[in-house]
Structure 1
Amino acid sequence: MNVGRLRQFHTALAAAAGSLIMGLMNVWPSYTSELYFSNTTTPLSAPMTKAEESLLGSLPSLGAMCGCAIAGVLINSLGRRYGGVVLSLPVFLAWVIISMTSSIRVILAARFLAGISGGASLVLAPIFISEVAEDSIRGTLASSSMFLYCSGTLLSYIIGWALTYRIILFFMMGFSLAATVLIFLVVESPVYFLRQNREEDAKLSIAKYRGVPVTSMLVLDELAKLKQLVMPSVQLVSVIETDPKALEAEKEKLNSEENDQEVQQSTPSFKLLFVQPASRWAFTVVITVISMQVLMGIVPVQVYAKTVFTETDPSKADMYTVLFAVFLFFGTGVTGVVADKAGRRVLLIASSALVFVCMIALGYLMQSKIAPPIITVLLILAYCFAFMFGAGSIPYVLLAEAFIPEVQNLASMIIIEWVWFLNFAIIAVFPYMISAFGIYGSFYIFGTMGLINAIFAYMYVPETKGLSNAQIQDLFLSRKRR
């Protein structure tokens, strides 16, 4: 692997590190709540109430909504690198606060603060990765957010099982600080440099990410393409002015696209997102599959994993909870390995269909109780794996590659804001779903969402692996016209 690709992997890891931190943080209450409830061993000044337990689990999602709202502004003004550093600090500060207080109210405020970093990461990662990744590995890199999130949940379950409360807090602070260091060491995006009119810096950034000399024709070619996307077309002359034949060819190409480029350059991002047919339809497709991902139930099943396994087999609930995280981890790993080989669309369809099968079977078994507990547990684990190898990861790959640069920031912010709102809502509603329909009825609902997602993906999601941004826009248009 050349140096350029190593830098691309480093950037993907650094940009998505907030997802690992969010995974660590989200499942922390699953093994901390019992300690906080205790009258004898609680580190709090008074035992936690049921209402406070609900807030302990859900407040990071509200914080994440705030993180999404400010992420776009910061990374556009400070850059992906320094904006990422600033956005990674709230979660570190939150863990420091939690380690120093015995007040549940202060801890709840810190949980909200920590959520800011997690939400911001899901905006930063697809934007940064889409700007630096080669087409051939873009799918693998774009799946890193979900892979690291699942890694964080697995790690959190393990340390919660093995370590004491205070040691866990020090681990959390260490991981949060490491995430800040990682993003500080990345190479800034060439797209950001171009938007700041820093062409030489943009050329140097491209050269570093491709592992070639700054004078390479590959650098000049990529710079020309980026300028065509993010700058007025007349500014392309400086890239190729030394080659008259290339200049003439470029002029002919630009003449055929002049009207579209003028519209893109003069139209505000918000209007362009919903006026330009390709962007509007890409937004519709991506927000639909990412919403269905949430509605397939992985978030409440994850947050209440121990409760689900306790109902299934109380004696082995802790072990099954760790296995749950292991299957999430390996399912996401499959996406990282095969997303650029098998393709996005086939993984999304197959995964959603398998979620439907697993959830319907799981609901029936839990309703009828005709099978031993181990069969139910295996079905839950199969559901986790089936969800993560496609339906749980591919929407974030599409988020990183479906939009033109002019609307990428805005589209990512809106979609991730919506995701965190859905996460908050479904976590809050899940206990009431169990009361109204039983846990098996809730699983029937989640399974139905998987079937709907499979049908929608078959009809409307284009295959985007290995394609350029322009080719992807054409595919979205062709799918819309079907």
Structure 2
Amino acid sequence: MCAKLNKVLNDLLNHRLRCQFQATVLINLISISHGIGIGWLSPKLRKEESHDWQLDFSLSISEISWMNSELGLGAVAGNAFMGLMLPWLAMHLWFSWLLIYLAENDEDFSYVRFLAGISGGCMYIAHPIFISEISDAKIRGTLATMVMLSLNIGILFGCILGRYLDYQTIPLAVIVFPLSYFILTLFLIRNSPVRLIRKRKFKAAEKSFRYYKNINKNNQSGEMLEFTQMQHTFTADKHPDERLDKLRMKDFLTRAAFKAYGSAAVLIIVNQFSGLLAMVNHMSNIFQLSGSSMDPATYTIILGVIQILGTFATTLLCDKWGRRILLMVSSAGVVFSLTVLGLFEYYLHWFKISELSWVPLFFMSLYVFLSNIGLVGCFFVVLIEMFPPKVRAIILASSISIFICNAFVFLILTYFPYCMNGWQISTTMWSCVGVNAFGFVYFVFFLKETKGKSMQED
């Protein structure tokens, strides 16, 4: 593991790739902030149910459900209006933390989650596309998985802050992230060469390409062949005066495009029905119901560390093993671990099995680790790479894929607490098992490997 880590670091910090790594780290400051916004609420909701709520108002199950689902609803809005909202990405998060500081009722918390969702909806589209457009094929997976790695680091920070700090202190500790993102990206991040080519700013695109590949302006060697191919991809069949970001209907109706639509639909459904985001939002409650003797809030923090280990493993392995094998391992792991957890929760109602209190701890840890290895860590990498180049940015920027994904987020976060109360945790988990079993079969027989794929290939 140390040797692999050393190799990855050497690749990221070498002369050619240094600027790509720097840009990835800077834009993921907002991913950390968004993750904190997701993670801090779980321990606070546990305190609310144990009457250790620090504010003057209480929350019902319906209000908790709606407040959590606002994250998905805001993400849908962020997808739909990304062009308008992306320049103000940091300000949405900054204002959401200000609202937490000033919160006086449950409506304020709903607004907070909605604003955080808007930022997430924009971030989940713009950042993976940007990273894919500036990075070399051999490290594209490593850099793109850092979006989810940063998000999970933020979720862990959020769990810790929510466990040990009060409401007025948390925003003061976190607000530095969106402000730093706004200032640093304003001065240190350049547009991707693909975006500039689409705008017919060819000289600026070449400068951007040379910057991110660290190529001297006097160097006209084979290293610039990739830029020539990139420019040809978007200009080959276009009139000199035609907009390069304008697509024809035939671009959407190719064989490669239809294959991508099907694979994207399966990937989105399996990703969301892994249930991880809903589990994270209700982790403290789930452990309370499982009969575990460990403090639920403490174990939520432990699971935050495990999430980071899972996505970090993806960062190390994504460009070595490939995306497909990680998705297969991840979906199979979710099926196995949630099946066992569901059985444990089911028999917990019939038998006293306190001597097996380690079971939910172990298998929930396994579930979180394995779901993060592929279904979470590789999600945006594969979703971007599977589309043909001409429709890749347009498909995602118009929210056709991520819009559907966040619609599922909204529905799952809305109905998950009702499912836990109505169906019990066991049936809820087994529902996720069925979807992930289907996903495993699809990944084995139908999903095409995208490791090393040029971003100019169909």
Q: Give TM class, smaller chain.
A: 0.7 to 0.9
Q: What is the match of residue 176 of structure 1? A: 178
The 1-side partners of 2:88 and 2:16 are apart by 25
1:308 to 274, 280, 286: 286
1:275 to 225, 239, 253: 253
The 1-side partners of 2:185 and 2:270 are apart by 31
SS in 2 for 1:327: helix
Asked if the contact 2:332–2:436 (Cα under 8 Å) also holds between the matched residues in 1, the reply is: yes
1:227 to 220, 226, 231: 231
The 2-side partners of 1:164 and 1:433 are apart by 30
Return 53-62 or 320-329, whichever deviates more: 53-62
Return 83-92 or 195-204, whichever deviates more: 83-92
Q: Flag the 1:172–1:127 CA change in 2: closer, same or farther, 3 A.
A: same
SS in 1 for 2:401: helix
Asked if the contact 2:46–2:284 (Cα under 8 Å) also holds between the matched residues in 1, the reply is: no
2:297 to 302, 313, 318: 318
SS in 1 for 2:261: helix
The 2-side partners of 1:40 and 1:12 are apart by 40
Cα offset, 1:394, TM superposition: 1.6
Q: Flag the 1:43–1:308 CA change in 2: closer, same or farther, 3 A.
A: closer
SS in 2 for 1:462: coil
The 2-side partners of 1:266 and 1:7 are apart by 26
Asked if the contact 2:159–2:301 (Cα under 8 Å) also holds between the matched residues in 1, the reply is: yes
1:18 to 1, 15, 30: 30
For residue 165 of structure 1, what is the amino acid of its counterpart? Y
Q: How does 1:68-107 map to 2 (within 5 A)?
A: 68-71=79-82, 73-74=83-84, 84-107=86-109
Asked if the contact 1:16–1:122 (Cα under 8 Å) also holds between the matched residues in 2, the reply is: no
Query: Could you list the per-position Cα deviations for residues 18-43 of structure 1 after superposition, in whole angstroms to 9, with x for gaps in the alignment?
Result: 33222211222223336667989644
- Normalization by structure 1: what TM-score? 0.83
The 2-side partners of 1:165 and 1:315 are apart by 24
For residue 25 of structure 2, what is the amino acid of its counterpart? L
Q: What is the match of residue 257 of structure 1? A: none
Q: Flag the 1:299–1:101 CA change in 2: closer, same or farther, 3 A.
A: closer
Q: What is the match of residue 254 of structure 1? A: none
Q: How does 1:300-449 map to 2 (within 5 A)?
A: 300-312=278-290, 313-369=292-348, 370=353, 372-412=356-396, 413-449=399-435
Asked if the contact 1:229–1:404 (Cα under 8 Å) also holds between the matched residues in 2, the reply is: no
Residue 299, structure 1, aligned to residue 283, structure 2? no
- Normalization by structure 2: what TM-score? 0.88
Q: What is the match of residue 4 of structure 2? A: none
Q: What is the match of residue 7 of structure 2? A: none
Return 323-332 or 370-379, whichever deviates more: 370-379
The 2-side partners of 1:20 and 1:415 are apart by 23
The 2-side partners of 1:114 and 1:442 are apart by 27
Q: Flag the 1:68–1:169 CA change in 2: closer, same or farther, 3 A.
A: same
The 1-side partners of 2:254 and 2:303 are apart by 42
The 2-side partners of 1:86 and 1:289 are apart by 29
Asked if the contact 1:37–1:49 (Cα under 8 Å) also holds between the matched residues in 2, the reply is: no
| Bigger Rg, which one | 1
Cα offset, 1:392, TM superposition: 1.7
For residue 435 of structure 1, what is the amino acid of its counterpart? N
1:463 to 445, 449, 455: 449
Q: How does 1:245-260 map to 2 (within 5 A)?
A: none
* Count of residues paired in the alignment: 435
Which has the higher relative contact order, 1 or 2, with Cα contacts under 8 A spaced 6 or more apart? 2
List runs of 5+ in structure 1 lacking aligned partners: 75-82, 237-261, 474-482
Cα offset, 1:143, TM superposition: 1.0
Asked if the contact 2:39–2:157 (Cα under 8 Å) also holds between the matched residues in 1, the reply is: no
For residue 374 of structure 1, what is the amino acid of its counterpart? W
The 2-side partners of 1:144 and 1:138 are apart by 10
Q: Flag the 1:354–1:234 CA change in 2: closer, same or farther, 3 A.
A: closer
Asked if the contact 2:191–2:208 (Cα under 8 Å) also holds between the matched residues in 1, the reply is: yes
Residue 207, structure 1, aligned to residue 210, structure 2? yes
SS in 2 for 1:97: helix
The 2-side partners of 1:323 and 1:94 are apart by 26
Seq. identity, %: 25
For residue 380 of structure 1, what is the amino acid of its counterpart? M
Asked if the contact 1:351–1:386 (Cα under 8 Å) also holds between the matched residues in 2, the reply is: yes
Asked if the contact 1:38–1:47 (Cα under 8 Å) also holds between the matched residues in 2, the reply is: no
Asked if the contact 1:58–1:424 (Cα under 8 Å) also holds between the matched residues in 2, the reply is: yes
The 2-side partners of 1:38 and 1:296 are apart by 28
The 2-side partners of 1:266 and 1:431 are apart by 43
Q: How does 1:155-194 map to 2 (within 5 A)?
A: 155-184=157-186, 185-194=188-197
Cα offset, 1:274, TM superposition: 3.5
The 1-side partners of 2:258 and 2:377 are apart by 22
